[in-house]
Structure 1
């Protein structure tokens, strides 16, 4: 019974799309009923297409006695493909005819008949992340017409080793995002403010989208199709979850040295696993249990107590599943993300310092090409502070989720303190900065009837807090507060709701809908193109939340609905990611190969360029400003004279704005 009916079921499954290049395999087996008479501590099989051989290995304990029949159900993408009733006595299995209690260890190679092997379509070996499973139910009985009660149930997931989770996808998206961000900084330093602002805003939106895909996959829902989970796993790098082996060893030591107990899930993995502490409804859910969870051997129960069962298994959902698939112990998840963030910040500071030294050296040698970076050389400290604030905003979703998660997981007292410090610093900087922006904008409106005047005329304010409002139109200066609130609330539900997947699914979907409506109504970004991109991006994020809402099984839909939604999730997000990446690449290439990249972008309707008092705005005016630039310069106390070639500029006032002098000059 053990070998033949399992192999028959496996072959039967391949009459539908499975997944493997030239091999189909399974490395996990679980029980699918309470008090199953058959439990296994190790299970592996591999079917090779080229020669039709099935390598089979199982170690198990059986409490079954007497004559039995087995019912084999093969399921793919939520559909029952094959249902067969097998008699072990007819399959030449003496040990099971009749069955006797005891342990057995079997390793064998079985040859699959060519007629059965030919039923496997070629597509079975090419489509990634097979959503398939074979279930074997054992009944007592002496004849096929006299099948009694179900006394055992086991289930094995199937795959072909192909998956859409590819590390190269993460590397490519990370490199393109990084190059685009660096490019925006270069063009900003060269005086092309419009180009820098548009590239930066688009790249940050792209990065935010990658974060959203990774975050929605953190929902602890029950029935995530493997193709959806695998694709979202490609973007976990955007939250700082990057595995470095020697760092993982350091984190294990740190957690243990500071009073915690490091997890050992990765080191105690088994191939055959038995579920435990599951609700009856979850255990008997049906055909797709294996594919929607990661099964690993664990020596502890969920409450941390020791277990002496042969094969206790832990079903991982949400953050724990992502951590396991990333090869990171769950107790290292928080440290991995936050240490990676601090390392990136350190590298940025180091690069900026080296750039400053290099530009000073070139400036002393009077190399003409580097004179264009005059503004950065004079204001590099303010620019450095601005970059640090920008990194804080960029990593805010990562910081909030990981810190909130640490409060729940409590890896060690030192980790808790670390999380509190990071969360307080991030929230204090961003919310204080948002308050200052709001305060300055309101003052500018009261004095000059325009929020852009003070926000853009003071170079110190622009360099320090500009990242909070420059991506948006001046009239939407307050949008940063909405964005921070959206991130904070969403992160709280993701981290604190890991034990209530259904509530999580509903909450995240409602949050995404509310934010989509807000973006559509306000259209806050600085250009029409960016507003279109942000709205499309939020539509995709809302659809992703809708998919995971269904994956939470709140609606009780058939398993095939989840499978279809998983494929749609992959196609939609893969296509949208490609479009965004191409958009960013085109923008950067245009900027690099264009003599005047700012000419592509229309002037901002909020008149920000008229109020910016720095070298870049002067260059812009000299190259071809408008009467509005002259008015802005006059309001700042600067002298612009108009000619056919453009404007000439000379300063009459130095320093940042002064409210009293500016009021008199403006009037």
Structure 2
């Protein structure tokens, strides 16, 4: 098999991906189906395994024949739609002798054995076929009558090499990344508890929990579109299904089936029991046994290591039943969820129950912490930072659940719309509608409340800085905008609309890959343009982290467009594009993991910039309240003059004995006696009032009349100036 420059380079990147398997250099068939109607010979079982390390091929073939017949065996192997090996051999001659098929006996027959493969034939199989994960290969075995050359039996089977990107360890590492990001956000929140800041702060050096979870949502939903994915990308995307709430749980699926059965659901071919007996067939010919995959995925207590895919876990049935057993055609969201042994009609109820478990765990955790603090208060003194938590634990619970709704809103919209279009239980549809309305109402209420406060402060204060500086406002609402600059607090509104529209496009467009891909590309590109134009994030690290994530989202959707069937792109190019996409997405994921580790250190020495400004402002205001007129700090050299500073200067204008503004610079008029023009002892009342002077006492007048001036003369006129 010859590859172009781009496909070869893309396939070469697999060497840098974390792929390990215990499989050796083998090729094997998984499952089978007949490719000849009304064949003379009926095949009941077939398996083939070639081990390159020892140049041997083992086979197992069983079936029935109405008569004894001499045959020629023709074997053709395809990889990614291209023929890579072809050979005809006679089971009755030396070197390819198969005694049980020489000739094919009448009635039941079984042919088993091991044969050596000559080097000239083994060299025809490309080496890459043994190393590339999730190999998309196919073997076609045809039995031809020796006398007439007509085909008497034909079977085709998928070929795999035992390697796959569907690795349990990847899910564990991704879950650990999300947990570490949550822990870092929690550490930031705990450090801010004393000043009433939000429960989750995104203004940090590393990626926030919301950014990491949102990226994992992208990786998962990228595998849900109704396009012709290469098998390697389908397996990679499946590793992140847990982030969207799709966790295989056999007993849960059985309970949901029972619930659907009592509320109008149809379990005939849409139930957990059905999936355990069926094989999922994708449009590209890949066949997956969903039950075996679910068994491995739910085995959380097993050892964490990578194993080769067994006969029943990938591209086959593994039960040896005729024609491969029950084959269930799937694609899109259905194909994504049912490979986890979650029937498509059970999808919404699955994430609803997982969400309920998470909410219960959060509630119990917060209330238990409250109980611990109360007991602690009875027998000792706990840190001051925990005082606010003790007093406002209900508020913390409310804000935490609101933040959870904000993080899951896009995914929740996707599954609710999918339930409306693909679900069969009226009760499940009702629950989907109620929860979607509740989630939307919660976000709409907070959005309206924040807008109302911003509008109010814009009119009264001239800007919206109070959203960040007022302790009570920050504590209640900052989870929506704490990662943004003050002038871009409103960015969270288009972000909410973005997640909503994205979920609707994926779910409502299920079955229409081109519409899904094009619509998602437009919405992702618009969000990238918004972020590039405004650059709304508070810290530079947050700027480039979030913009980089969004740029990779746009690039990912552009790559997914290659998989659209209507474009007619070759399977080799699709696989190469899928591998290149995996490399890009894996690189960004690794970068996020490194940044989380770095953030674990920096979080300890750096605080939320909004929190720092708020604390500095409060400290300055407290200092200004204690200033005296002679305080050295009361000077023009002080920075960050506040409104209280201006009020202090305004009040000092009253501490004068001269005219008040705007008459201070005008000379006082002398009151004269009209007939004599004398000024002796004649001072008018209105002039006295304008001068803001006090009536001098007798001692004061005598002292002023007898005390000399600075130049030795007696003062004979009243003077005015500043009172000291």
> TM-score band (shorter)?
0.7 to 0.9
Q: Write the deviation string for residues 499-541 of structure 1: whole angstroms up to 9, x where unpaired.
A: 2223222222222222222222222222221110111111111
Of 506, 513, 517, the residue aligned with 2:529 is 517
Task: Measure, in 2, the Cα distance between the counterparts of 1:553 and 1:20.
Answer: 34
| Conserved 8 A contact 2:279-2:328 | no
| Conserved 8 A contact 1:20-1:160 | no
Task: Measure, in 2, the Cα distance between the counterparts of 1:230 and 1:221.
Answer: 14
| Conserved 8 A contact 1:334-1:402 | yes
Q: Specify whether residues 204 and 85 from structure 1 end up closer, same or farther in structure 2 by C-alpha distance, changes over 3 A only.
A: same
Q: CA deviation at 1:476?
A: 2.0
Q: Write the deviation string for residues 306-328 of structure 1: whole angstroms up to 9, x where unpaired.
A: xx999552222122222232232
Task: Measure, in 1, the Cα distance between the counterparts of 2:176 and 2:582.
Answer: 22
Pairwise mapping of residues 231-246 of structure 1 onto structure 2 (< 5 A)? Answer: 231-246=236-251
Q: Write the deviation string for residues 439-498 of structure 1: whole angstroms up to 9, x where unpaired.
A: 322222222222231465151x43343222212223222222211222222212211222
Partner residue, 1:204: 210
Partner residue, 2:579: 567
Task: Measure, in 2, the Cα distance between the counterparts of 1:423 and 1:87.
Answer: 65
Mean alpha-carbon deviation: is it higher for 210-219 or for 515-524? Answer: 515-524
Mean alpha-carbon deviation: is it higher for 412-421 or for 189-198? Answer: 189-198
Task: Measure, in 1, the Cα distance between the counterparts of 2:632 and 2:365.
Answer: 41
Residues 1:349 and 2:358 are matched in the alignment: no
| Conserved 8 A contact 1:341-1:395 | no
Mean alpha-carbon deviation: is it higher for 328-337 or for 309-318? Answer: 309-318
Residues 1:229 and 2:234 are matched in the alignment: yes
Task: Tell me the SS of whatever aligns to 1:28.
Answer: strand
Larger radius of gyration: 2
Q: CA deviation at 1:205?
A: 0.6
Q: CA deviation at 1:69?
A: 7.3
Partner residue, 2:303: none
Partner residue, 2:117: 113
Task: Measure, in 1, the Cα distance between the counterparts of 2:433 and 2:153.
Answer: 49
Residues 1:29 and 2:65 are matched in the alignment: no
Q: Write the deviation string for residues 564-594 of structure 1: whole angstroms up to 9, x where unpaired.
A: 1111122111121111011112202333xx4
| Conserved 8 A contact 2:166-2:239 | yes
Q: Specify whether residues 47 and 71 from structure 1 end up closer, same or farther in structure 2 by C-alpha distance, changes over 3 A only.
A: closer
Of 287, 290, 293, the residue aligned with 2:285 is 290
Q: Specify whether residues 95 and 176 from structure 1 end up closer, same or farther in structure 2 by C-alpha distance, changes over 3 A only.
A: closer
Q: CA deviation at 1:131?
A: 2.9
Pairwise mapping of residues 157-556 of structure 1 onto structure 2 (< 5 A)? Answer: 157-191=158-192, 196-199=201-204, 202-222=208-228, 224-262=229-267, 263-264=270-271, 267=274, 289-291=284-286, 294=288, 313-368=327-382, 370-454=383-467, 456-457=469-470, 459=472, 461-556=473-568
Task: Measure, in 1, the Cα distance between the counterparts of 2:442 and 2:265.
Answer: 30
Q: Specify whether residues 125 and 140 from structure 1 end up closer, same or farther in structure 2 by C-alpha distance, changes over 3 A only.
A: closer
Task: Tell me the SS of whatever aligns to 1:133.
Answer: strand
Q: Specify whether residues 64 and 539 from structure 1 end up closer, same or farther in structure 2 by C-alpha distance, changes over 3 A only.
A: farther
Residues 1:134 and 2:139 are matched in the alignment: yes
Task: Tell me the SS of whatever aligns to 2:246.
Answer: coil
| Conserved 8 A contact 1:266-1:327 | no
Q: CA deviation at 1:159?
A: 1.7
Q: CA deviation at 1:271?
A: 8.6
Q: CA deviation at 1:132?
A: 2.5
Number of corresponding residues: 574
Partner residue, 2:84: 81
| Conserved 8 A contact 1:294-1:315 | no
| Conserved 8 A contact 2:134-2:164 | yes
Q: Write the deviation string for residues 226-256 of structure 1: whole angstroms up to 9, x where unpaired.
A: 2211111111111011122322232222222
Q: Write the deviation string for residues 2-28 of structure 1: whole angstroms up to 9, x where unpaired.
A: xxxxxxxxxxxxxxx999722433323
Task: Tell me the SS of whatever aligns to 1:526.
Answer: coil
| Conserved 8 A contact 1:36-1:153 | yes
**Structure 2: which 5+ runs fail to align?**
1-14, 292-321, 639-643, 645-724
Task: Measure, in 1, the Cα distance between the counterparts of 2:55 and 2:91.
Answer: 22
Task: Tell me the SS of whatever aligns to 1:588.
Answer: helix
| Conserved 8 A contact 2:454-2:464 | yes
Task: Tell me the SS of whatever aligns to 1:156.
Answer: strand
Partner residue, 2:606: 597
| Conserved 8 A contact 1:220-1:318 | yes
Partner residue, 1:580: 592
Q: CA deviation at 1:217?
A: 0.6
Q: CA deviation at 1:75?
A: 2.8
Partner residue, 1:304: none
Q: CA deviation at 1:38?
A: 8.5
Task: Measure, in 2, the Cα distance between the counterparts of 1:32 and 1:640.
Answer: 93
Q: Write the deviation string for residues 122-147 of structure 1: whole angstroms up to 9, x where unpaired.
A: 7655442223223457889968xxx8
Task: Measure, in 2, the Cα distance between the counterparts of 1:353 and 1:93.
Answer: 72
Task: Measure, in 2, the Cα distance between the counterparts of 1:585 and 1:46.
Answer: 44
Task: Tell me the SS of whatever aligns to 1:259.
Answer: coil
Task: Measure, in 2, the Cα distance between the counterparts of 1:126 and 1:178.
Answer: 33
Q: Write the deviation string for residues 89-134 of structure 1: whole angstroms up to 9, x where unpaired.
A: 876789999999x996646233232635577677655442223223
Task: Measure, in 1, the Cα distance between the counterparts of 2:515 and 2:39.
Answer: 31
Task: Measure, in 2, the Cα distance between the counterparts of 1:448 and 1:428.
Answer: 29
| Conserved 8 A contact 2:180-2:596 | no
Mean alpha-carbon deviation: is it higher for 344-353 or for 128-137? Answer: 128-137
Q: CA deviation at 1:83?
A: 4.0
Task: Tell me the SS of whatever aligns to 2:569.
Answer: coil
Q: Specify whether residues 24 and 84 from structure 1 end up closer, same or farther in structure 2 by C-alpha distance, changes over 3 A only.
A: closer
Task: Measure, in 1, the Cα distance between the counterparts of 2:387 and 2:39.
Answer: 75
Pairwise mapping of residues 572-651 of structure 1 onto structure 2 (< 5 A)? Answer: 572-591=584-603, 594=604, 596-598=605-607, 603-604=609-610, 610=613, 617=614, 621=615, 625=616, 633=621, 639=625
Task: Tell me the SS of whatever aligns to 2:203.
Answer: helix
Q: CA deviation at 1:432?
A: 2.5
**Structure 1: which 5+ runs fail to align?**
1-16, 283-288, 298-307, 611-616, 648-652, 654-667
